[in-house]
Amino acid sequence: MNSPNIKLTNRMLRIFQNAEKEASSSQHKVLQPIHFLLACLKEKEGVLGEIVFKCTIDKASIRNLVNELDLKSDMNVTSHNLFSVPITNDVLTVLEQATCYMQNYNQVYINEGHFLKALIKTNMLEGFVSEEDTKMILKLGTTSRDMVTHLHNYSFPDVISSSIRRVERDDKNKLIHFVESHFSQDWSETIKSAFFSTTPSIYVAFDNKGDLVGFAAFDVYQNKKCYFGPMGVAKSNRVKGIGYSLLHHCLKDMHEIGYEYAIIGGAGPIEFYEKACYAVVIPATNI
């Protein structure tokens, strides 16, 4: 289902498939934006499971409302190679907006956070979801979330890139420049502060030419212990297992220190951490 120019996480692939099923069972047999929300509400893990638990959305009522409404004249039916059923132009609008969010966050896969934010910001949920639930979805599903993984029985994976090592003091200027160029000033300041330590808790990754392509750190953000991050890989070198390897080099050290848990701060690609180290989203308590 992936388009050459659009990559979807496995969860988003499943959401797209379930959205098509929702459309096929509807009166109009045409995929509309609201079908994606219904598909999201079938998910039980991660932030979507939290949304299902905390929101008061009635899926049956939404389905009935969709069937009662006639397709508007401005909702012309079209097609797209991502879908095997007819779609409305509104679906293309949402998909385009979700792609923009993905690119703005410097990511390479569209995830449920990008798509939910696109549904909300393009006003596709109006008339179907209450304002209160819309705010809840925006808060829970479209922002970076802290995660936690248990390290008690941690074991270092066998398949790990060999081009990764602990940072050396001579790497300082190169690493800071890399972080400033590819990520943010805030991350750069965090990395700078890490070098006040004699042995900074940072790992770096290199390509086969010896160029720096990624980094990961722990216990460096505001001197918080048991705290993993930040981590970043140059966009052109993603989907190669580098981030996975960097993550596990840090988790191995954290386990050997004796940490029972690792907190993954402000995780954007939640599904990555769920799969890479069985991390789970820490429930929001301020809502």
Per residue in 74-85, pLDDT (tens digit) is: 568 999 999 999
Across 248-264, average pLDDT:
97
- Dihedral Cα 33, 2, 53, 127, nearest 10 deg: 0
Mean pLDDT lowest among 90-94, 217-221, 237-241: 237-241
Distance of CA 84 to the CA centre of its chain: 25
Q: What is the pLDDT of residue 72?
A: 55
Residue 36's pLDDT is 98
Q: Please, which residues bridge with residue 263 across strands? A: 148, 227
Q: So what's the pLDDT on residue 69?
A: 78
Topology of the domain covering 148-281: Aminopeptidase (3.40.630)
Q: Mean pLDDT, the chain, as a whole number?
A: 92
Decide if pLDDT at 32 tops 60.
Answer: yes
Predicted local confidence at residue 1, as pLDDT: 46
Asked if pLDDT for residue 274 goes beyond 80, the answer is: yes
pLDDT band at 231 (very low <50, low <70, confident <90, very high): very high
Q: Which of 214, 208, 211 is nearest to 233 (CA)?
A: 214
Model confidence at 73, pLDDT cuts 50, 70, 90, reads very low
Averaged pLDDT for residues 219-240: 92
Question: Which class would CATH give 10-143?
Answer: mainly alpha
Which is higher by pLDDT, 7 or 69?
A: 7
**73 compared with 93, residue with greater pLDDT:** 93
Low-confidence winner among 41-45, 146-150, 155-159, 256-260 (lowest mean pLDDT): 155-159
Locus of tokens 């004796």: 258
Between 270-277 and 46-54, two packed helices, what is the crossing angle to 10 degrees?
120
- Return d(Cα 81, Cα 148) in angstroms, integer: 37
Domain positions in the chain are 10-143, 148-281
* pLDDT at residue number 74: 52
Q: What is the rounded average pLDDT of the residues 33-47?
A: 95
